[in-house]
Amino acid sequence: MRTTLTATPKHFVAVDMGSNSFHLVIAREQDGSIQILHKEKRLVQLAEGLDQDNRLDNDAIARGLACLKDFNLRFSTLDQARVRLVATHTLRVARNREAFIEAARAIMPYPVEVVSGHEEARLIYKGIAHSQELAERNLIIDIGGGSTEVVLGHKTQAQILSSLRCGCVSYNQKYFVDGKLTLENFRAAQAAADKQFASLAKEYFSGQWDLTLGSSGSVKAICEAMQHFFNDETITLPRLKQLKQQLLDWGHVDQIELPQVDSKRAPLLPAGLAILISFFKRLPITELQFAQGALREGVLYELAGISQFGDVSGRTVESMAKLYHVDLNHAAKVATSAKQLFDAVADGWQLEPWRSLLEHAVKLHEIGIHINSRAHHKHGAYIIANSDLPGFSQEQQQLLALLIGNQRKKPNLEALAQLEPAQKLRLIRLMALLRLAVLLNLGRIARSLKITRVKPTATGMQISLPEPRQRINLFAKDLQREQKQLAQLGFELQISYADN
């Protein structure tokens, strides 16, 4: 399907030259928002090339330059591209960094910014703030290859910035270089990390924050290990200790068996774990979640000069609706019906925290029509499941895709069976509300059909319509079919008309 754009979008390119990996992000401005077009990550391991005099060896330089050559091919032909290259800890400390930078300029005709530790921390916070909604007070840690950034912030504004000399690559080289996983190695790594965290400003030890987040590949790998052992990605100190014991039982990095963790990342897992355990022990933290954004997103949004603070998920939904030409007038009608139904059952079913999820599903429920009107609910679910959605966690994105994919026709029982019981029940109830709202506005009718009474029950819902059944016979048949579809989910829809 050919789409005509009203204006040529500007392209933005961010290159993050980290101590372990290089990252490329290409995006464009779409209706006042940033749309990610391409993301790429390369394991360069620049920090491994630092010798005792902090000089990069030729092999590390060659790996970095080879990566930049490949990255350059991805965007060199883009029109109206604005490019920003940012380098972090390894090039901060490398005594021969100018040789690398000069060679990089020959590949990409753009300046390489070697940012300070504090500037790196600020950009990390900005990237996270643009990628998800933050709390009133936030604590963020980013464990990189050569340094660890720790930030305290108020809503979208970073306030206290710190950069510490501890990273998964540098600690791996110093404490786990032979791959052996011993208690002595862990103790040495944790003691070194503890000295770094002890140097933080007093504000970090107050415990006065509402949300703790972690970014970077090390935290992501640890979250994936949490998922493997505990069926969710929440990080706590007891869980970290259990993971440490499992690593000790394996005895060597070659014996690590974590299918979810990238095999190239696994050797760095012990060093990242030691740093994170020290972080939990030194600061008053109960749990930590994985952050969606990072340095490269901060660079990207600053480069674009677009502020997406506030309702990040709402802006994402608005952008998706415009991109896929959603009929907003019809979506508003469905939204009115959905709100009436939701308001009637929210307290009884304790659904209030999921109001916005239903609102987003309503606005995007016809997004799949952009591909094909036939089975558009399936196309819509695919788009949502496979798009980059700033402001949505992985779980929220999965639930949104399930809602849109099950708005009509036969429910996907196999996909729903994968959910935890409480989550499944909640989603089925939201699904019933969405399906009814869509049904009440089926066929682009001039006015929505009305429901005069809605009552939640333990097993389903009772609804009353103000019309006699014969007057709305076609709709009554649709409702009867819907009853059967919902019954497959264990949801009982009871219907009464004016004449019964």
Question: What pLDDT score does 6 carry?
Answer: 40
First to last CA, the chain: 49
- Residue 302 maps to a domain: no
Indicate whether 262 and 401 sit together in one domain: no
Indicate whether 205 and 335 sit together in one domain: no
pLDDT at 259 over 90: yes
Per-residue tokens: 367: 């997004």
Domain around 349: 312-449
Q: Which of 50, 387, 394 is nearest to 232 (CA)?
A: 394
Question: Average pLDDT in the 419-435 region?
Answer: 93
- Residue 482 maps to a domain: no
Cα R_g (the chain), whole angstroms: 26
Indicate whether 92 and 125 sit together in one domain: no
Query: Quick one: which H or E segment has residue 166?
Result: none
The one-letter amino acid at 321: A
CA separation for the pair 135, 163 (Å, rounded): 22
Under the banding of pLDDT at 50, 70 and 90, the label for residue 345 is very high
CA separation for the pair 88, 16 (Å, rounded): 8
Indicate whether 108 and 124 sit together in one domain: no
Q: Measure Cα distances from 397 to 270, 337, 353, 369, 462 in Å.
A: 30, 23, 15, 19, 30
Domain boundary among 297, 329, 356: 297
Q: Are 465 and 450 in contact (CB under 8 A)?
A: yes
Indicate whether 281 and 424 sit together in one domain: no
CA separation for the pair 47, 167 (Å, rounded): 10
Under the banding of pLDDT at 50, 70 and 90, the label for residue 1 is very low
Indicate whether 61 and 173 sit together in one domain: no
Write the CATH number for 176.
3.30.420.150
CA count, 13 A, side-chain hemisphere, 291: 31
Long-range CB contact pairs, 421-430, < 8 A, 24+ = 423/399, 426/349, 426/351, 426/354, 427/399, 427/402, 427/403, 428/489, 428/490, 428/491, 429/345, 429/349, 429/351, 429/491, 430/351, 430/354, 430/357, 430/358, 430/361, 430/403
Q: pLDDT digit string (tens) for 389-424?
A: 877 777 788 999 999 999 999 999 999 998 888 889
Indicate whether 159 and 109 sit together in one domain: no
Strands of 9-77, DSSP E: 11-17, 21-30, 33-43
Q: How many structural domains comprise the chain? A: 3
Indicate whether 289 and 334 sit together in one domain: no
- Residue 472 maps to a domain: no
Q: pLDDT digit string (tens) for 181-235?
A: 999 999 999 999 999 999 999 999 999 999 999 999 999 999 999 999 999 999 9
- Residue 5 maps to a domain: no
**123-132, 223-232, 446-455: least confident range:** 446-455
Domain boundary among 297, 325, 355: 297
Domain boundary among 243, 267, 297: 297
- Written as one string, the DSSP assignment of 271-284 is HHHHHHHHHHHHTT
Indicate whether 274 and 358 sit together in one domain: no
- Residue 304 maps to a domain: no
Write the CATH number for 106.
3.30.420.40
Indicate whether 271 and 347 sit together in one domain: no
Indicate whether 210 and 230 sit together in one domain: yes
- Residue 475 maps to a domain: no
Q: Are 107 and 68 in contact (CB under 8 A)?
A: yes
- Written as one string, the DSSP assignment of 333-402 is HHHHHHHHHHHHHHHHHT-GGGHHHHHHHHHTTTGGGGT-STTHHHHHHHHHHTS--TT--HHHHHHHHH
Question: What pLDDT score does 2 carry?
Answer: 35
- Residue 107 contacts by C-beta under 8 Å, 6 or more apart in sequence? 65, 68, 69, 72
Question: What pLDDT score does 227 carry?
Answer: 95
Q: Is 448 exposed, middle or buried (0-12, 13-18, 19+ CB in 10 A)?
A: middle
- Residue 326 maps to a domain: yes
Indicate whether 181 and 201 sit together in one domain: yes
CA separation for the pair 121, 315 (Å, rounded): 25
Under the banding of pLDDT at 50, 70 and 90, the label for residue 482 is very high
Place of tokens 């966690």: 393
Q: Which of 120, 122, 117, 279 is nearest to 205 (CA)?
A: 279
**15-19, 327-331, 352-356: least confident range:** 352-356
Write the CATH number for 443.
1.10.3210.10
Question: What pLDDT score does 116 carry?
Answer: 87
pTM: predicted TM-score of the whole model, two decimal places: 0.72
| Phi-psi category of residue 289: left, alpha or beta, with phi > 0 → left and psi -120 to 50 → alpha | beta
Strands of 232-326, DSSP E: 289-290
Under the banding of pLDDT at 50, 70 and 90, the label for residue 32 is low
Paired sense of beta strands 460-464 and 289-290, if any: unpaired
Q: Are 270 and 254 in contact (CB under 8 A)?
A: no
- Residue 468 maps to a domain: no
Question: Average pLDDT in the 162-168 region?
Answer: 96
